[in-house]
C-alpha cells in the first residue's frame, strides 16, 4: 500500500486547469501570436536521497509526447562511423533523425562553452547510443545537461529500432541521486488540460516503482512551468519528534 500513488486524477485535473488558466491570463495574446509554449514539469522532493549511481536515467512513457513526429529536430550522438549508422537507420526504416554526430566531431567542433550553447539550441531533442551515454558529460559539459537538453540513450541493437527511438522521443526521464528534488517534464502549455492530466497521472503511477520505496519516499509533488508558481499536488508533514521528559 505504501508504494501506491498518493495523488488522484481529480487533484491533477484541477491543478492542470489552474496552471493553464494562469499561463493564459499572464501571457494572453502574446503567447497566442508567437506560438510559444512553456514546459510543464512535475517536481518531486524525496524524503531520502538514493545513493548516487552512474546508471542511465529512468525512462517513463507519456500518454502524449512532448515532441511531434516530423516536426522535431533530432540529433543522434554515436561513437563513430556515420555511414554505418545511416545504413542501419535506413535498413530499420528509421526517419526523423536530423543529424548524426560522432564523438570525434563533437570534440573537435564544439570545444568552447559558446559552441556547446549554440549546439544545445540547434535541436529540439538529443539522443545517443546507450553505449556512449556515460561519456557525453565529458564532451558536452555540465551546463549542457542542466539546460534540459541532455541526450537520452537508445539501444541501437534493438530489433525494432524505429520503435526504440519513438519510445525514447515520447517519454520523460527521472534522474535520481543528485539531490532531494527531481524535475520531470510532463507536457507543455500547448496541450489541453486533459492531455496534461493524462501525462501527469502516467508519471505518478510510474513513480510507484521508479522511486526507491515508491510514494512512501516522496515528501512533496508540485506542478509548474518555468515562470509560474508551483501548484501543490502532495505535501506531507514530517512526524513530530517526541518530547523526552527529564526524570
> Taking residues 115-123, what's their average pLDDT?
90
C-alpha cell at 39: 514546459
Please count the other Cβ atoms lying within 10 Å of the Cβ belonging to residue 189. 19
Predicted model pTM: 0.86
Residue 34 has pLDDT above 50, yes or no: no
C-alpha cell at 195: 492531455
Residue 240 has pLDDT above 80, yes or no: no
Close Cβ partners of 13 (under 8 Å, ≥ 6 residues apart): 193, 194, 197
DSSP state of 63: S
DSSP state of 135: G
> Taking residues 87-96, what's their average pLDDT?
92
C-alpha cell at 6: 498518493
pLDDT at 237: 67
> Taking residues 188-207, what's their average pLDDT?
96
Residue 32 has pLDDT above 70, yes or no: no
Residue 72 has pLDDT above 70, yes or no: yes
pLDDT band of residue 33 (cuts 50, 70, 90) is very low
Amino acid at each position: 500500500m505504501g508504494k501506491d500513488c498518493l495523488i488522484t486524477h481529480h487533484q491533477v485535473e484541477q491543478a492542470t486547469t489552474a496552471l493553464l488558466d494562469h499561463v493564459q491570463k499572464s501571457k494572453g495574446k502574446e503567447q497566442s501570436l508567437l506560438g510559444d509554449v512553456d514546459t510543464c514539469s512535475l517536481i518531486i522532493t524525496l524524503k531520502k536521497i538514493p545513493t548516487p549511481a552512474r546508471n542511465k536515467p529512468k525512462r517513463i512513457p507519456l500518454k502524449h509526447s512532448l515532441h511531434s513526429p516530423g516536426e522535431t529536430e533530432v540529433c543522434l550522438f554515436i561513437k563513430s562511423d556515420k555511414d554505418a549508422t545511416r545504413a542501419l537507420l535506413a535498413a530499420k526504416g528509421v526517419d526523423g533523425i536530423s543529424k548524426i554526430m560522432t564523438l570525434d566531431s563533437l570534440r573537435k567542433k564544439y570545444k568552447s562553452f559558446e559552441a556547446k550553447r549554440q549546439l544545445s539550441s540547434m535541436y529540439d531533442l538529443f539522443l545517443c547510443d546507450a553505449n556512449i551515454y556515460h561519456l557525453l558529460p565529458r564532451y558536452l559539459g555540465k551546463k549542457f545537461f542542466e539546460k534540459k537538453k541532455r541526450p537520452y540513450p537508445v539501444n541501437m541493437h534493438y530489433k525494432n529500432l524505429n520503435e526504440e527511438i519513438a519510445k525514447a522521443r515520447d517519454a520523460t526521464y527521472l534522474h535520481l541521486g543528485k539531490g532531494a528534488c527531481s524535475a520531470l517534464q510532463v507536457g507543455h502549455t500547448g496541450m489541453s488540460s486533459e492531455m496534461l492530466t493524462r501525462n501527469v497521472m502516467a508519471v505518478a503511477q510510474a513513480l510507484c516503482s521508479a522511486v526507491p520505496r515508491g510514494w512512501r519516499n516522496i515528501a512533496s509533488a508540485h506542478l509548474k512551468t518555468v515562470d509560474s508558481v508551483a501548484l501543490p499536488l502532495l505535501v506531507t508533514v514530517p512526524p513530530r519528534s517526541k518530547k523526552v521528559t527529564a526524570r
